[in-house]
Chain A
Amino acid sequence: MDFISFLVAYWPTLIQLTAEHLGIIVVAMALSLALGLVVGIAISFSPRAAAIVLGINGLLMTFPSLALFSLLVPVLGIGSAPAIAGLVVYTQLPLVRNVYTGLTGIDPALIEAAEGMGLTPLKILWKIKLPLAWPAILTGIRTATVMGIGIGAIAAYVGAGGLGVLIFQGISRNNDAMVIVGAILISAISILTDRLLARIGDRDRS
């Protein structure tokens, strides 16, 4: 089956798989961002905790993703749950690290001024630190999301669906067009998301 006839025959499936893929990414990124913010903020108050947490995160990232997804299946069953959990684990490092460096890279004079003026630690975090760390946090979100979209292909392996289905089925059926379409769609989504997030960053800067 050639490329064009594949697209024509399968386009409703392609749309469905793309929607699945995006759904998994959106849920995983929302959870990961919430967790990453909490962890990043928490460790910004303790350099010792930061070294430990960032070390563990780095270690987790080196763990082969296929193996991690498989190991999550006995715990979380088959479907989107292990896929989402795995994506959260992989996207933590760029998020936590960027939240942390964003928060700790702020000029100490600003914090001292805020403290001396009578802002509470919570107000300082909300009004001063987070807005100033936002560009770094957004960079983290960008890196993590692009990474997540790619790794999300493996989610098909644990039954979560998504564009990875095309790649896995294409390989087992020896259908190159299927593999290529899956790969291109994933790349395209990555690039579009990256551009979109970059634009948000540019808009905030101006």
Chain B
Amino acid sequence: MIRFDQVSKSYGRNRQVIDDLTLAIAEGEICMLVGPSGCGKTTSMKMINRLVEPDSGTVLVDGRPVNSVDPIKLRLNIGYVIQEIGLFPHMSVADNIATVPVELGWPKPRVRARVDDLLALVDLEPGLYRTKRPRELSGGQRQRVGIARALAGDPRIMLMDEPFGALDPLTRAKMQDEFLAIQEKIRKTIVFVTHDTDEALKMGDHIAVMRAGRLLQYGTPTEILRHPADTFVADLIGSRKGLKLLRLLDCGSLMRQGAAAADLPVLPARATAEQALSEMLRCGCRSVAVADASGVTLGRLDLDDLIDRVARDD
């Protein structure tokens, strides 16, 4: 879907910001670009919608080099969210969201319907929020509108530059969960820049770890946790790798199917292994029951299985 082919970029003579970057991002995935500030992650992302042009190498979208596409046309078909959100303060929420559809020349009724659908998608009551100004919204609400605005033209690709960076930890975790739930429905190809490794591990289908313009490692969260390419990546992930792995596994995939004792604590199949372990520690039991959304027992997860699966390399 998106490919970087030996891309390099420097500002001036000595400041190499991107050094021979080659990277392929698959359709429908969230690719997290992670690394310390100045590592080139934002610059790389901006090459996809041509806000930055590479000195050498090619960026391809759908097999087409982006520099062969008119930048305005390219950008209208790529959603864009930045940390500061950049909602236009003189426009209503609806007009903000309608920006790209209006540019694309959609008829008015279709734009209106799209705005309401998107407000509902990001969990803002259309009747209540359509006419509000950005300054009347909380930080989290603004970010929801920012995401709705980026989705408005129904782009296949979304670029997100630290979208939750300015939110407090609680709102941030909530927005991450909600965004993952939205992505379940919309299945966009998402390039997501962050400097927060935990956010990368939580959100990413794949993670690209960058440092000083170079790609150090590209892999799934589990791969990166289990086999960090070098000490820099290992340090970036930080300590407690085992506990972080727990968050990547869900009860549904770890459990043994069948009946479970009635007195065990019950967790939904979507719950993480971390939640299961926490529940075991809380109740002093060595097993939890796993149930589906309607509460029907699916199986049982034992502590030994949990330890085996986290430790096992697969």
- A residues in contact (CB < 8 Å) with B: 107, 109-110, 112-120, 123, 127-128, 131-132
A131-B90, A132-B90 known; A117-B100 Cβ under 8 A: yes
CB–CB B75/A118 < 8 A:
yes
Q: How far is the CA of A127 from the CA of B100 in the complex (A)?
A: 12
Known contacts A113-B80, A123-B103; is-contact A118 B86 (Cβ 8 Å): no
22 A-B contacts (beta carbon < 8 Å): A107-B86, A109-B82, A110-B86, A110-B88, A112-B51, A112-B82, A113-B80, A113-B86, A113-B87, A115-B51, A117-B75, A117-B76, A117-B80, A117-B100, A117-B149, A117-B150, A118-B71, A118-B75, A118-B76, A119-B99, A120-B72, A123-B103
Closest to A204 in B: B90
User: What separation, in Å, do the CA atoms of A118 and B78 have in the docked complex?
Assistant: 9
Interface residue? B200 (CB, 8 A): no
Chain B residue nearest in CB terms to A115:
B51
Chain A minimum-CB-distance residue to B104: A118
Chain B hits for A127, CB < 8 A:
88
CB-CB nearest in chain B for A123: B103
Complex formed: what's the CA distance from A128 to B100 in Å? 14
Looking at the complex, which one of A107, A117, A132 makes contact with B99 (CB distance below 8 Å)?
A: A117
State how many angstroms separate the Cβ of A11 from the closest Cβ of chain B: 46
Bound complex: CA A98 to CA B149 (Å)? 31
Contact of A107 among B76, B80, B84, B159 (CB under 8 A): B84
Most buried by B among A114, A117, A128, A132: A117
Residues of B close to A115: CB separation below 8 A: 51, 75
Let me know if A116 and B99 touch, CB within 8 A. Answer: no
Alpha-carbon distance A119/B96, docked complex (angstroms): 13
| Closest residue of A by beta carbon distance from B74 | A118
B171-196 toward A: CB 8 Å interface, digit per residue (1/0)?
00000000000000000000000000
CA distance A120 to B73 in the complex (A): 10
Chain A residues lying within 8 Å of B80, measured Cβ to Cβ, are 113, 116-117
Other A-B contacts than A112-B51, A113-B80, 11 sampled, CB-CB below 8 A, are: A110-B86, A110-B89, A112-B82, A112-B86, A113-B84, A113-B88, A114-B88, A116-B80, A119-B99, A120-B72, A131-B90
Say whether B143 faces chain A, with CB atoms less than 8 Å apart. Answer: no
Which one, A109, A120, A131, contacts B86 given CB within 8 A? A109
- Cβ of B88 and Cβ of A118 under 8 Å apart? no
State in angstroms the CA–CA spacing of A107 and B85 once bound together.
Answer: 11
- Would you call B72 and A113 a contact (CB within 8 A)? no
Taking CB atoms, residues of chain A closer than 8 Å to B72 are 118-120
Q: Are A116 and B84 in contact, with the CB atoms below 8 A?
A: no
1/0 contact string of B125-163 vs chain A (CB within 8 Å): 000000000000000000000000110000000010000
